[in-house]
Amino acid sequence: MAFVLYRLPESAEAVFIEDKSPLKATQGTDLLHQQGFIFAPFSVNNEQPYWLLQPKKHAKYTLTELNHLPLPISAPESVQTPVVTDKSTYLKQCRRMVTAFEKGKLEKAILSRIKETKLARSPDLMLLFQALCQAYPNAFVHLCQLPDGAIWMGSSPEVLATVQHPDFSTMALAGTQKWQGHLPPWSGWGKKEQEEQQYVATYISEILEKYSRTIRISGPASVQAGKVIHLCSKFYARLGEVPAAAVIEELHPTPAVCGWPAKTAENLIKDTEIHHRSYYAGYLGPVHSETKMQLFVNLRCMQIRGNSLYLYMGGGLTAASHPEKEWQETELKAQTLLAVIEKMQNFET
């Protein structure tokens, strides 16, 4: 049994899909021409499949109506427990990556980690979903149980692709600062953050230029995402007869979640991180047809096992990175979920 409950940015409704026999594939192009909800891994080399939940049981609800929606949750013991990275290990990993930059092997890589938060009892997932929707109205919020029983929840600020044939849009989201109550101009960002964002923007531009002669770019500009702000550039293209699925599969994973050059960064990630990213930094979202879909990067997400919440977070490293500052950045990103979890606990008590 698999299901997904999701709320699109700025929407007042949540959509529920339940599927007893979702489609399974090894690449997104096998599924992106069908109707349903796709859940894609970070990388095909992770040995995690792509899933498409088909809308056999499909309904829309207001957030208050969700109180009466029973979730068909089951959590078998076979679901693997995520591997938590402590601070000492993370700092060693960070220094190893920075050394690779200094040797000229690559220019940027994303180092991620998992943080465990243990509650007194299993959380009320519906209450937590509603709280995330209320706290982050501009984010894509989801609660999903995959066929293996793994439960994922998140509140993502990053669009991978919005397709309304022939129009195609995406974004470059990179660089992080703590939210200080205002959005700084480009000059208010450090060189390291500016370079991070530029790698992503250049990568996206080069791919879109292969498929479209009509490309428009806005930004970069500062945007708020919960407790942090990022630099964001938005891209708009007309694809003509090119299948959107082909562009999406080439875009993913972008340097915002992997690094640059992409293959070198991905290999370094696999050699460095002690956990499997699984569906963290993959993509997900509703697919109405091969010409209409809304896909988001699976960021600010967590996996739920009983009363343990495993939060996934990462940050972009370059030769200018300082390990301690990078650790603090991941702690800051964790607050997107932790702040809502704490608020939910206070409400329950």
- Burial tier of 84 (Cβ tally within 10 Å: 0-12, 13-18, 19+): middle
Instruction: Count other Cβ atoms within 10 Å, centred on residue 213.
Output: 8
Does residue 110 register a pLDDT over 70? yes
Total domains, the chain: 1
Q: Does the pLDDT at position 348 exceed 60?
A: no
Across 19-33, 46-60, 151-165, least confident range: 46-60
Q: How confident is the model at residue 45, as a pLDDT?
A: 65
For the stretch 98-107, pLDDT in tens is 888 888 778 8
pLDDT value, residue 148: 87
Identify the domain containing residue 48 by its residue range.
Answer: 2-348
pLDDT score for 225: 87
Q: How many CB atoms lie within 10 A of CB 192?
A: 17
The whole-number pLDDT of residue 74 equals 67
Which pLDDT belongs to residue 106? 87
- Is residue 349 pLDDT above 60, yes or no? no
Helix H, strand E, coil C: the string for the chain is: CEEEEEECCCCCEEEEEEECCCEEECCHHHCCCCCEEEEECCCHHHCCCEEEECCCEEEEEECCHHHHCCCCCCCCCCCCCCCCCCHHHHHHHHHHHHHHHHCCCCCEEEEEEEEEEECCCCCCHHHHHHHHHHHCCCCEEEEEECCCCCEEEEEECCEEEEEECCEEEEEEEEEEEECCCCCCCHHHCCHHHHHHHHHHHHHHHHHHHHHCCEEEEEEEEEEEECCEEEEEEEEEEECCCCCHHHHHHHHCCCCCCCEECHHHHHHHHHHHCCCCCCCCCCEEEEEEECCEEEEEECCCEEEEECCEEEEEEEEEECCCCCHHHHHHHHHHHHHHHHHHHHHHHHHHC
* pLDDT band of 10, cuts 50, 70, 90: very high
Task: State how far the Cα of 40 lies from the Cα of 146, in Å rounded to an integer.
Answer: 11
| The predicted structure's pLDDT at residue 140 | 97
pLDDT at 343: 79
For the entire predicted model, the pTM comes to 0.94
pLDDT digits (tens, 9 = 90+) for 226-250: 888 999 999 999 998 889 999 999 9
Q: Which CATH number goes with the domain that contains 342?
A: 3.60.120.10
What average pLDDT does the chain have?
Answer: 91
- pLDDT one-digit tens code per residue, 48-91: 899 999 988 889 999 889 888 888 776 566 678 999 999 999 99
Q: Summarize pLDDT for 301-338 with one digit per residue, the tens.
A: 999 998 899 999 999 998 888 999 999 999 999 999 99
Phi and psi, residue 222, nearest 5°: -80, 135
Instruction: Give the mean model confidence (pLDDT) for residues 251-272.
Output: 91
pLDDT of residue 76: 60
pLDDT tens, position by position, 274-307 = 999 999 999 999 999 999 999 999 999 999 998 8
Count CB neighbours of 209 within 10 A: 11
How do residues 176-206 score in pLDDT, each as one tens digit? 888 888 999 998 999 889 988 999 999 999 9
pLDDT of residue 115: 97
